[in-house]
Structure 1
Amino acid sequence: MYIILALSIGGCVTPGHKTTSQKRQSILTMKNEVLSDLYRVKPDVRSQIARAPGYAVFSNVNINIILASLGGGYGVVKNNLTGKQTYMKMGEVGLGFGAGVKDFRVVFVFHNANTMKRFVDHGWAFGAQADAAAKASDKGAALGGEITVDNITIYQLTESGLALQATVKGTKYWKDTSLN
């Protein structure tokens, strides 16, 4: 039941524009803003992304209700080798202790082309997460971080929210057929 709900949330969390072109542009604008924020905090990531075969940027909303964690979002994978952009959605479900709502952005830097292709074509990611976030606009602090797994470096930036969680999650990323 939680998996169906998470995928439903992922399917509903999309840019609020009406046309396909406007949705794509909204995602690209989000991508550029997130990268600017990340470069401001970690300037060395700019060269890491430039040297990588590709990268992805996602906007996510996560809800933690006592023992369940649900989330959804959207984003884009940029293939630096071909210039192709693949628009994607995501949904997640988790079990563990937590409470709160968090709006955050994730940047994936792919260190080889096969890993990027596997992500675009199959998109599953599983993992454990423990974090605390208390942020509204430019006020507050968010502990996210950086991790490298399976030839992918992952950066998380919290936009806003109040959450305390320790969960084991399954996340599904898939191509957005309406935008590709």
Structure 2
Amino acid sequence: MERVIPRSGLSARSFLMLFWAAAAIIMFSGFWSGKTLEEKRAERLQTSNETLQLLYKHAPEAKEMIAKSYGYAAFSNVGVNLVLLSAEGGTGVAHVNGSGMNTYMNMASGGVGFGLGIKDFRAVFLFENKEVFERFVNEGWEANAQADAAAKLADKGDAYGAAITVAPGIRLYKLTQNGLALQATIQGTKYWKDNELNK
């Protein structure tokens, strides 16, 4: 399944507006939920676990790969489409296998075009070592054109190949309820730490 997001005609200002619209989806949905911080954390952990189980269902080999990694981060998004504009926001959890430490994360992206977005789009990152994990969590990460190109060149016939290398020491699985989404566009998606839930 492919999500096509043509960005060539999107100005930097328009993209930033879409990005912050997506970020607002996350912040205000959490703010108005009426849930305590503990309830929000528990909900994030549950969604993260559901994402992992979905991944294992469609790519069983991923379980061993994740176990051998320093840590992983599982994300789930929500999308808002406004005629020709699309803003997406999502949440996730980054987990260290050795210590069991969890860091709560957010994600957001924006684009233009018809038929944008995949409902219930999931992403699972695998981190090779502590350095790349902490950089992703503490400094945030943005999928650039190079990462997007790598994602689109993934081998469709191999579950191991489905975990695309998107940056040194970082591999990525993309999936939906229907299975692996090897051709889904990730360019322009940003990931950062949720300050509220990491208090």
Describe the shift of the 1:146–1:47 C-alpha distance in structure 2 as closer, same or farther (beyond 3 A): closer
Q: Identity rate of aligned residues, in percent?
A: 44
Describe the shift of the 1:127–1:73 C-alpha distance in structure 2 as closer, same or farther (beyond 3 A): same
1:54-100 per-position Cα deviation (integer Å, ceiling 9, x unaligned): 000111023455654311011100011322100111111235x3324
Aligned partner of 2:56 among 36, 39, 43: 39
Write the mapping of 1:18-57 to structure 2, written as runs, cut at 5 A.
18-57=35-74
Describe the shift of the 1:127–1:21 C-alpha distance in structure 2 as closer, same or farther (beyond 3 A): same
Distance in 2 (CA, whole Å) between partners of 1:65 and 1:124 is 26
CA contact (8 A) 1:14 1:74 kept: no
Give ranges in structure 1 of 5+ residues lacking alignment. 132-144
Write the mapping of 1:119-130 to structure 2, written as runs, cut at 5 A.
119-127=136-144
CA contact (8 A) 1:89 1:176 kept: yes
1:95-138 per-position Cα deviation (integer Å, ceiling 9, x unaligned): 5x33244221111111222111111011121235699xxxxxxx
Aligned partner of 2:25 among 9, 25, 31: 9
SS in 1 for 2:98: coil
Describe the shift of the 1:21–1:48 C-alpha distance in structure 2 as closer, same or farther (beyond 3 A): same
Distance in 2 (CA, whole Å) between partners of 1:18 and 1:111 is 34
SS in 2 for 1:8: helix
Give ranges in structure 2 of 5+ residues lacking alignment. 1-16, 152-161
Flag the structure with higher strand content: 1
Amino acid of the residue matched to residue 94 of structure 1? G
TM-score, with normalisation over the residues of structure 1? 0.76
Distance in 1 (CA, whole Å) between partners of 2:63 and 2:175 is 15
Aligned partner of 2:77 among 50, 60, 65: 60
Describe the shift of the 1:159–1:13 C-alpha distance in structure 2 as closer, same or farther (beyond 3 A): farther
Write the mapping of 1:132-151 to structure 2, written as runs, cut at 5 A.
146-150=163-167, 151=169
CA contact (8 A) 1:98 1:166 kept: no
Aligned partner of 2:123 among 103, 106, 121: 106
Q: Which range is displaced more, 14-23 or 54-63?
A: 14-23
CA contact (8 A) 1:38 1:45 kept: yes
Distance in 2 (CA, whole Å) between partners of 1:53 and 1:42 is 19
SS in 2 for 1:12: helix
Distance in 2 (CA, whole Å) between partners of 1:17 and 1:103 is 23
SS in 2 for 1:5: helix
CA contact (8 A) 2:174 2:184 kept: no
Distance in 2 (CA, whole Å) between partners of 1:158 and 1:13 is 22
Flag the structure with higher helix content: 2
1:85 aligns with 2:102: yes
Describe the shift of the 1:168–1:112 C-alpha distance in structure 2 as closer, same or farther (beyond 3 A): closer
Q: Which range is displaced more, 64-73 or 22-31?
A: 64-73
